[in-house]
Structure 1
Amino acid sequence: MRKTQKTNSALRRFIMTIIFLTVTVLATSACGQQSTGEGKLKVTATIGMIADVVQEIGGEHVEVSGLMGAGIDPHLYKASQGDVKKLDDADVIFYNGLHLEGKMVEIFENLENRKPTVAVSSYLTEEQLHSDPAAGEGMHDPHIWFNVKLWISAAEVIRDSLAEKDSANADYYKEQAAAYIEELEELDAYVREQIALIPEANRILVTAHDAFGYFGSAYGLTVTGLQGINTMSETGAKDVSTLRDYLVENKIKAVFIESSVPKKSIESVIEGAGQLGHEVTIGGELFSDAMGDAGTVEGTYIGMVRHNVDTIVAALK
């Protein structure tokens, strides 16, 4: 009897030891999983162009969440509950500003007292910005990424904000930013070289909405859009007929659609020009307010700009 009791006691101790070791291993494993990414800044960015720059500069020290993917129009975008959670969980928030994300202004105002909530346009001066009279006095064109030199300023804002929030890795952010800004300088030179291949008389860029103003002034093209700077404005019959007449009078052969703007209205313009005996083709699709799909070349800021330039040059030269 006593031998049986000893055997049972030993068995219980053995089982308890196994359970203890199993719990310890599981706990250690869980801790290991929780520490993955420990120390990384959680960053939320609105548009893809900003998210891409944050990733380039933040590198291994950031975890970036973007709110607006390919084909999304930021002018019309409303934050979902999931977006609000991403914003709440973030250590730093980056947005474009200049009322690009017009429907999210109140959210940013509520968050800026709790955490760094940074407009990447904040280093730009009044002289560098284009006014937008249609939107009211003191309002500006928000599409600053189409002048690569201005986008370098956005990169500097991101660099300085990350360094301030995470001073332990400030030197890393500065080194990453210096390398990336060098790439942007090369991109700016590429754009100038390629646009120079278009005969001056052909340097007229017609698009679905007026997003390319900074691009035109920086690189020497006349730019006009069917809609205004903000896609919240509606296109009417008068807008269509005015642009149709402009195409006919200036003998413009190609217009461009945009990935984030429906092409129906542009097609109406082309049809109207055809009825007047002037043939106009679609020169290609440009990325304006959103980049391409994640994982593609056009899903990066540099790749997007190069795609736009190559498409414009191929159609107009």
Structure 2
Amino acid sequence: MKKTLFILLIILISACKQQPKEQPSGKLKVVTTTTMITDLVQEIGGDVIELEGLMGSGIDPHLYKASQGDVRKLSQADVIFYNGLHLEGKLVEVFEKMNQQGKRTVAVSDALDKSTLIGSDYFASSYDPHIWFNLEYWEQITSFVTKELIKLDQNNESVYKANEEIYLKKLSNLKEELDKNINTLPSEQRILVTAHDAFNYFGRSFNFEVVGLQGLSTATEAGVKDVQRLTDFIIENNIRAIFIESSVPRRTVEALQKAVQARNHEVNIGGELFSDALGSAGTAEGTYIGMYKHNVATIVNALK
């Protein structure tokens, strides 16, 4: 792995020194990492930026490694937006090298007061990085991204601010809709069991107890003890449904279901949730708002 990373960094240095000549578009060139950030930047930047997202639907950012093509895209960007908090753990050294080369890199998590985050011993940052599941955080990040874009492209300040206002209104409407849907689910049934602990900010926001099979990161797979622990928990709490995730192999949750059934207890797979990545481009779930609506509808319908 270190050898691969070294090669990518050499490519990066070369790309920064000798970028291919391209016809300038006159637009700010922006590169993003996760699909959630790509969607947000697209909402704010609209047609006045040139945007490229590195990760697509179903891609796990915990495990993502930069390709030669990614490094070239990063080296040619005017600004790079990434999550931070060690979510994109295998890209950290690449970003550090970018900074040394004078490239503008922005961790959207820098918009947040770290004292309000959920702590974690599993990440180098010491925080749970799944911040997009807190709508108030996402509103703060929206304004933060808007300010960063304006710093680099003051000519389009009015566009960025207008798009920010529209998107913040959409997020406010989303919160009202989700509250209404979740309030149909009794508090004692708000126990969410998923493939990994990506939903703790969601749980804190909407009063769910969240239990993940793999913990916060998918970098390490669940073991026999994890399955046994969660099997006991499901039976003791008479949980009706557990959930797979789009960016995590479904076999982990299917193994958990079989372990529960072996104990003469029935638990359903309640559906697929989008955790570390949005759905396919062009679908409702391919947007942050559509993803959130899908997740909540799936959870509520399965747990009722």
Q: TM-score, normalized by length of structure 1?
A: 0.87
Runs of 4+ in structure 1 deviating by more than 2 angstroms, as ranges, are 133-136
Residue identity opposite 2:116 in structure 1: Q
Aligned-pair CA distance for 1:34: 4.3
Residue 304 of structure 1 aligns to which amino acid in structure 2? M
User: Is residue 223 of structure 2 the alignment partner of residue 223 of structure 1?
Assistant: no
Q: Which residue of 1 aligns with 2:109?
A: 121
TM-score (ref. length: structure 2): 0.90
CA distance in 2 between counterparts of 1:115 and 1:88 reads: 8
Q: Whole-Å Cα distance in 2 between the matches of residues 186 and 127 of structure 1?
A: 27
User: Which residue of structure 2 lines up, in the alignment, with residue 47 of structure 1?
Assistant: 34
2:68 is the alignment partner of 1:104: no
Q: Is 1:149–1:185's contact at 8 Å kept on the other side of the alignment?
A: no
Cα deviation, residue 148, structure 1: 1.1
2:93 matched to 1:133? no
SS in 2 for 1:209: coil
Give the secondary-structure state (helix, strand or coil) at the position aligned to 1:68: coil
- 1:264 and 2:251 are equivalent in the alignment: yes
**What's the offset of the Cα at 1:230?**
0.8
Indicate if the aligned counterparts of 2:61 and 2:87 stay in contact, CA closer than 8 A.
yes
Indicate conservation of the 8 Å contact 1:44/1:67, yes or no: yes
Contact 1:208-1:266 within 8 A present in 2 as well = yes
**2:229 corresponds to:** 242
Code of the aligned partner of 1:133 = D
Q: 5+ unaligned residues in a row in structure 1: which ranges?
A: 1-32
**Is 1:195 matched up with 2:182?**
yes
Q: 2:75 aligns with which of 88, 107, 119?
A: 88
Partner of 1:316: 303
Match of 2:66 among 72, 79, 84: 79
Partner of 2:191: 204
Residues 103-182 of structure 1: matches in 2 within 5 Å? 103-113=90-100, 114-135=102-123, 139-182=126-169
Letter in 2 for 1:228: G
Map 1:22-37 → 2, pairs under 5 A:
34=23
| SS of the residue 2:110 aligns to | coil
Whichever residue aligns with residue 224 of structure 2, its letter is A
Question: Alpha-carbon deviation of 1:127?
Answer: 2.5
Match of 1:12 in 2: none
What SS does the corresponding residue of 1:290 show, helix, strand or coil? coil
Equivalent position SS for 2:59: coil
Q: SS where residue 173 of structure 1 aligns?
A: helix
- Aligned-partner Cα distance in 1 for 2:222–2:263: 21
Contact 1:149–1:188 (CA under 8 A) maintained in structure 2: no
Residue aligning to 2:11: none
| Aligned residues with identical type, % of pairs | 54
